[in-house]
Chain A
Amino acid sequence: MKNVRLWYRKDGACRFISHLDINRTITRALQMSGVPLWHTEGFNSRMYVSFALPLSLGFRGEYESVDVRLLEDDYPTDVMIEKINGCLPEGLCIYEAGESLMKPGDIAYAHFIILITAELYSPEEILACAQRILSGERIVTEKKTKKGAVKEVDLKENIVRYNLELSGSAVKLDIVLPAGSVKNVNPSLLTDIIEKECGCDIFTDVTRVRLYDDNFELFR
């Protein structure tokens, strides 16, 4: 038996499904692929799959991973990838498979690229709004805790680094935020504030491009 980390992209139609649905869709594809994978041995036996870090509905992901257990140690990687990809819907694609070098719990930061547009505002106007928000001393918002209470967070102190610029007809926000099981900041908290500042509907196109550990080492 061998642990394998499958690396995939989430895009296209699959961008619009939730993490739970991604889980179901990938599990089914794995089942369909016929790749010999380990099932749990409890009363309700199911295929073992473990996702590194959930990705919100609507986000694209370029650096997503799921751990599975191969029953045959010498099962060829390229055959496995090809078989699984043949069973995945539009927008999900495995591009690499390998050993898992870090634990999902080690993930500490995520790098996002966010494109912002609006129907009523020009990119320059959005840029100005976003700059106003991001250059402020504090960016205060409310976040619901798991227990349902509302707590105030300052996003500003959580931003590791960011870069804001015009990119064609959109505003491009390149940002690194805390992510993982200990502390997680969803970039939509920030884009919601920018939307409020703009005072009109904005469209955000979010891509999670990389994940890092505590020391800013790439998650592997």
Chain B
Amino acid sequence: MINKKIEPYLLKVQKPGRYVGGEINSVYKDKNEIDVRFAFCFPDTYEIGMSHLGMKILYSQFNSVPYIWCERVFAPWIDMEKLMTEKNIPLWGLESGDPITDFEFIGFTLQYELSFTNVLQMLKLAGIPLRSADRTELKQIVVAGGPCACNPEPIADFIDIFFIGEGEEVDLEVIELFRKCRNEGKTREEFLFLCSRIEGVYVPSLYDVEYNDDGTIKSFSAKEGVPQKIHKRIMMNMDNVFYPEKFVVPMIEIVHDRVVQEIFRGCIRGCRFCQAGFLNRPVREKSPETIDRQCHALCRNTGYDEISLSSLSSSDYTKIRELLDRLTLWSVDENVSLSLPSMRVDGFDEEILSKLKTVRKSGLTFAPEAGTQRMRNVINKNVTEEELMQTCSVAFFGGWTAVKLYFMIGLPTETYDDVLGIGTLAQKVVDCYYRNENRQKGKQVKVTISTSSFIPKPFTPFQWEPQDSVEEIRKKQMALKDHITTKKIAYNYHDAEVSYLEGVFARGDRRLCRVLEAAVERGIHFDGWDECFDYEGWLEVIKDCGLEPDFYVTRRRGFDEILPWDHLDYGVTKKFLLKECEQAYKNTTTPNCREKCSGCGAAKYGGGVCYEKRKTVVS
């Protein structure tokens, strides 16, 4: 239902289709027959949020419970925001068109640090007090989950409950507890206290932090009766885990406008920069039967003609051939094309290629991540130059003429040789194309290299490392740019200032809450968008709050320091991360989970890859 107050103004803003709802498969319920209204907020625009798989899963799951009505809410773009403020129209849910102000739950998914300001901005637009302490009744429970909940401290003052780990079970347990508490006439405090005892729930207001004079953490303590350590929740049986049969099908074009099918969670590789790889351990696969059934249902219920098989490293799916065989049995006849993002350089062969090509040819992208073998060993990206060349040969042989390569700069122990090595590697790919007899005649090769700036993240072996300064990153970007002499190679790089700001919040502490609040007060938000990003403004806010950004970004942390996220447990032990960090300094790689168990700690969940029979083990 279109919000009636906003309807007359819809033609005054860009892309009004973002604000009207009404899409096929969106869920409508009778307000009088439900107990709990849940506003599922994505702190970015409709096009970004609607592409997010987690939201699709939880939206369907919440709405499968008769007493819950879950609605979608996205951050209105600045033109709409201005109108809403002028006309005094509070943020509304797309399904009912009702203001979300008095909803029982306001949930946020935290996918990237630069969306933190949008979380606050959305609360503000909804007319909900920003600080948890200022919300006193048993409603407006603000919850958050997602990868950035692994260091929730920079937004801890605004969120009542964080969900640590995977949300499918814990979210519903909390909602059920809420319902019970409300029936029993309990207070907000009583409810939050009881919540803190559910595994996977972190209630930040029940913990106190003390700081040393140098700004590091002196102590982090739980209030009485509250667990000191918060353990992540994890779904072990992927064939039983809830997966929607329908997606809401957007009417305007979104970023990932296709069926997204999860094939497994976690990653066996252990690349040392990759937070997702450590947070989501151990690897748990869905069976080909389940994936096939879910894909087919989704295509039928949405009308999409493209499926993306999603995971952290698609070619590591153990039954990839069996799966592609199954899918192509119907996908070809139904004009549905398949794509496999996140392919590894070493997991690519002609057979897979031909299956992907059956309907439509998509682009090829690989992520060697670093330009030299030494650097790749440091980050444990176990890919060799030969493998990359082999893969590119196969691709060029198959008729591809464009390849995209992703790299990072600013990695620990990096030298200029490593940076320039990226350009050299790209040149070798170009040479590989012209050596290929079977290349498309008369067509030029196009190699696009993109470098992002490395940001050390919590729960990775590099969590103690300093991040490169803005100046250092720029110097490296320019050096690489000058090193490339051919037009066959295009070079794109990330803005160093954006990465710096991300670095502040990635490993920040609770003192940053007041920075976020002050930033939003000054109108700073949508930091992930070039047209809104205000670096100078940010530096000023941080300074005015009496903090030093370099403390969070470029400082090397001591191995014995209490880190702001130490009270959370994602299965991987700190001891293991430390060992991995030392291995990195020695340029030594660690075998992947299928080759050899390295004892990261995730085996305690009792399933997944940790208990698979290894090929190298003679049984």
How many chain B residues touch A (Cβ–Cβ < 8 Å)?
26
Bound complex: CA A180 to CA B241 (Å): 52
Interface residues of B in 350-365 (CB under 8 A from A): 359-360
Interface residues of A in 142-186 (CB under 8 A from B): none
- Chain B residue nearest to A24 (CB atoms) is B253
List the A side residues contacting B19 at CB < 8 Å. 16
Q: Is the CB of A89 within 8 A of B22?
A: yes
Interface residues of A in 63-87 (CB under 8 A from B): 87
In terms of DSSP, what is the predominant structure of the interface of chain A? mixed
- Chain B nearest CB from A113 CB (Å) reads 16
List the B side residues contacting A88 at CB < 8 Å. 24
- Chain A nearest CB from B143 CB (Å) reads 28
- Chain A residue nearest to B16 (CB atoms) is A16
List the A side residues contacting B21 at CB < 8 Å. 13, 90
Contact of A21 with B22 at beta-carbon distance under 8 Å, contacts A13-B2, A57-B16 already known: no
Q: Is the CB of B24 within 8 A of A13?
A: no
Q: Is the CB of B305 within 8 A of A31?
A: yes
Q: Is the CB of A203 within 8 A of B303?
A: no
Interface range on chain A (Cβ under 8 Å from partner): 20 to 34
Q: Tell whether B452 is near chain A: CB-to-CB under 8 Å.
A: no
Bound complex: CA A166 to CA B420 (Å): 72
Bound complex: CA A90 to CA B16 (Å): 15
Bound complex: CA A113 to CA B156 (Å): 54
1/0 per residue, CB under 8 A from B, across A15-59: the answer is 011101100110111111110000100001111000000000110
Q: Tell whether B329 is near chain A: CB-to-CB under 8 Å.
A: no
Bound complex: CA A39 to CA B335 (Å): 9
- Chain A residue nearest to B305 (CB atoms) is A31
Q: Is the CB of B300 within 8 A of A25?
A: no
List the A side residues contacting B303 at CB < 8 Å. 27-33, 87
Q: Tell whether A194 is near chain B: CB-to-CB under 8 Å.
A: no
Q: Tell whether B10 is near chain A: CB-to-CB under 8 Å.
A: yes
Bound complex: CA A206 to CA B77 (Å): 25
Q: Is the CB of B8 within 8 A of A89?
A: no
Which of A13, A18, A29 is the one whose CB lies under 8 Å from B22?
Answer: A13
Q: Is the CB of B360 within 8 A of A25?
A: no
Bound complex: CA A58 to CA B10 (Å): 8
Which residues of A approach B to under 8 Å, CB–CB? 12-14, 16-18, 20-21, 24-25, 27-34, 39, 44-47, 57-58, 87-91, 117, 201, 203-204
Contacts A16-B17, A32-B24 aside, 12 further interface pairs with beta carbons under 8 A come to A12-B2, A12-B22, A17-B252, A18-B252, A21-B17, A28-B302, A31-B303, A45-B359, A88-B24, A89-B23, A201-B12, A203-B8
**Could you write out 10 A-B pairs with CB less than 8 Å apart?**
A13-B21, A16-B11, A21-B17, A21-B252, A30-B303, A31-B335, A32-B300, A46-B305, A89-B24, A89-B251
